[in-house]
A and B are shown apart, each in its own frame.
Chain A
Amino acid sequence: MLELVIFSTLNGVVYGLLLFMLSSGLTLIFSMMGVLNFAHASMFMLGAYFSYQVGKLVGFWPALVLAPLLVGLIGAGVERYGLRHVHRHGHVPELLFTFGLAYLIEEIVVMGWGRNPIENRVPATLDFPLFTLFTTSYPAYKAFMMAVSIGMFVALYLVLKRTRIGLIIQAALTHPSTVAMLGHNVPQVFMRVFAAGTALAALAGVIGGFALLTTPNMAAALGPIVFVVVVIGGLGSLGGALIASLAIGIMQTFAVALDVSLLDLLRHAGVAIGRESALFELASIKIAQAAPMIPYVLLVLMLIVRPKGLLGTRET
């Protein structure tokens, strides 16, 4: 039991941190442009594919840096030559633009690498059990994932809160015209933040690519949950995104381990629902089966109770 609890916690934290890496970039972009970037998870996917391709040429470690840089450049291009033009026409065209971009990227990936998962293996230097507790071993690459995402959080936090660049970004988010008046190139700030956000997603992709599975639908699989994290955490809030990702990661992991249904709980409370009851089917669903639904239930509850999210500062 203890073994299950410990490893479920570890798995939940790793999954949560991966979600955080994805959502941190999204939440920055969201608060900056006020638009959900539907192609954000696609950048995550590109990161995975690029690192695989670059890694074949120069090895994993250079790819860990190069792939996010490449995707960051693509992100900059998307903002400079795409979004910036669409921006003039309002939010809906922007939304549609990123939506279309997500489709486009998926099709390009299919054309380039095929529809089946590619053989994106854990790099040899990370492919060993770090430690074995009881009987379960814990792979080193998961610890590496943790280290990278925590490092990223700290670095991002320091840049945003402790440097001049961070000051300008923060100011540009809320008072773009004033910042422009002071002589800063606000569109360029936007472009850089967008590029940085996509690069962060790509970094998550490099790590998530081999930890999960590199397929053309990995973007579609993770996309929705990242939005949930951003909304629950509060738009534009890094800390909120971190808390929300960890909470969702851990909650989902533990829910899977719970083979309890509403029926069992009611039985303990002395209420019996018969097989003939209309509620029987519903009540006999185990928590484990409902696990993937939990984040979305949370999302709905959050929007009802506290629309600005955990640490958000403005109403959606």
Chain B
Amino acid sequence: MRRHVLRSLVLGVLAPAAIASTAQAQGTLKIAMIEPLSGGAASAGILSQKHFGYFVDKINAAGGVNGQKIEVLFFDNKISPQESLIILKKVIDEGIRYVSQGVGSVVAHAITDAVLKHNERNPGKEVIYLNYAAVDPALTNEKCNFWHFRFDADADMKMEALTNYLAKAKGLKKVYLINQDYSFGKAVAVAARAMLTKKRPDIEIVGDELHPLQKVTDFSPYVAKIKASGADSVITGNWSNDMLLLIKPGKDAGLKVDWYTYYAGTLGSPTAIGRDGVGHVKQVTEWHKNALPEADPDQIAYEKRFTGKEDDFAYWRLKTMFEMLVETMKKAKSNDPVKVAKALEGMKYKTVLGDVEMRADNHQLLQPLFISTMSDKVKYDVERTGLGFVTNGKIEAKDTATPTTCKMDRPK
């Protein structure tokens, strides 16, 4: 913990705005964000931290919710499930009843199990787990529980959207799958194979690679392999360094493929990919900067507050999450987690992108999804590269639903 405190101090000196309300006042509604704030995956955690800070300050500026101000406490889990559980224990001991995490499905599995166990054993002290980015489908299927709510489309839903687009794409013959060797990467690979064989039996899957998570420093050998397979398209769920390191050697070797990705639009990837990605790098997301003709007010306000090159407004789903949370709390006239969870279940909400719904059967948010391609002719660019994404297709919320095996026990 010492290191985290130090880092907070450093961050505090550099960017006081980055740390949300530090008011220790009694009676604030506390949310614990448990994310990597140091180590290899820290860039993802810190981006979330800024988004949390922005939205919470916005809610507080509007008077908070039900007379309470919101306070977010940031905890560094170094992307380790073990550390996360220790932090979770501490958080619960401090009486915090809202927990949020998203970076790393492995961590999400640990947290959702621990939250469920705690809630079963401690009635009256229930904790809600708000997941905004861990997209292993299992979390809303066999491992689902009443206290876990996911605000990002899961890997299967995104793959469904991607393969529906691929089903209509022309000139596609050989597809190569390359993913990270852990629950999420495997889920992407399995979904891609199953859906492609169903929707496009004529497409040949020429490779199905799993590489170590965030450990590869040189992807040239993998690229040589993709090249040798004769693939014309690559599907990957890679994120952060694994995403940007993959594309660079591809460019050097003269690999001419289309990249179908989950995360090519954030965390340094656009910078690393550069102009070579124009027309070839595609992503499936819940939003991108050019999804609407004009920038969203939150995008403008956020980027006015955080002005670094890396500080893009990126998590639309956090906007949805906080808006829905406030809405349910107001509707329930209470900030009590049990009442909020009950109200959140099955909740419908209107956003500027379209209607969204928190599925009652598995607590997965249904929201519109966009397929977009990297372009150098955009109104709003990312990471000040002059490059951005343009929409190829939008899938409405109701069309993104996938079957679920979830069976959850609900509190009486």
Contacts and interface: CB of A to CB of B under 8 A. Distances in A.
Determine if chain A interacts with chain B: yes
Interface in A254-272: 254, 256-257
B119 interface: no
A116 to B, nearest CB: 4
B218 to A, nearest CB: 5
Interface stretch (A76-84, A159-167, A217-225, A238-246): A217-225
Given A7-B253, A212-B245, A292-B215, A115 B46 contact: yes
A249 to B, nearest CB: 9
B297 interface: no
B211 to A, nearest CB: 8
A171 B308 CA distance: 52
**Which interface residue of A14, A136, A220 has the most chain B CB atoms within 10 A?**
A136
Contacts of B14: 111
A288 interface: yes
Interface residues of B, number: 38
Given A1-B228, A107-B10, A116-B267, A288 B209 contact: yes
B18 interface: no
A267 to B, nearest CB: 19
Contacts of A12: 221
A42 interface: no
B190 interface: no
B227 A117 contact: no
- Counting chain A residues whose Cβ lies within 8 A of the other chain, the interface size class is 35 or more
A217 to B, nearest CB: 5
A256 B222 contact: yes
Given A3-B227, A129-B254, A137-B254, A117 B244 contact: yes
A12 B221 CA distance: 8
Nearest to A129: B254
Interface in A206-247: 211-213, 215, 217-218, 220-222
Interface stretch (B36-44, B286-294, B328-336): B36-44
Interface in B235-259: 241, 244-245, 248, 252-254
B254 A292 contact: no
Interface string B247-281: 01000111000000000000110011010000000
A123 to B, nearest CB: 14
Given A116-B267, A116-B310, A215-B241, A139 B221 contact: no
Given A111-B10, A215-B241, A15 B268 contact: no
Interface of B: 10, 14, 39-40, 42-43, 46, 181, 209-212, 215-218, 220-222, 224-225, 227-228, 241, 244-245, 248, 252-254, 267-268, 271-272, 274, 308-310
Contact of B218 (A15, A129, A220): A15
Given A15-B220, A217-B40, A220-B40, 10 more contacts: A7-B227, A8-B221, A119-B272, A137-B252, A137-B254, A212-B218, A212-B245, A213-B248, A256-B221, A288-B211
A139 B218 CA distance: 14
A132 B252 CA distance: 11
B241 A119 contact: no
Contacts of A111: 10, 14
A136 B209 contact: no
A115 B309 contact: no
Nearest to B384: A119
Interface of A: 1, 3-4, 7-8, 11-12, 14-15, 107, 111, 114-119, 121, 129, 132, 135-139, 141-142, 211-213, 215, 217-218, 220-222, 252-254, 256-257, 288-289, 291-292
B43 A11 contact: no
Contacts of B40: 217, 220-221
A211 to B, nearest CB: 8
A142 B252 CA distance: 9
Nearest to A14: B220
The 7 closest A-B CB pairs, nearest first, are: A116-B268, A137-B254, A256-B221, A4-B228, A139-B252, A11-B220, A253-B221
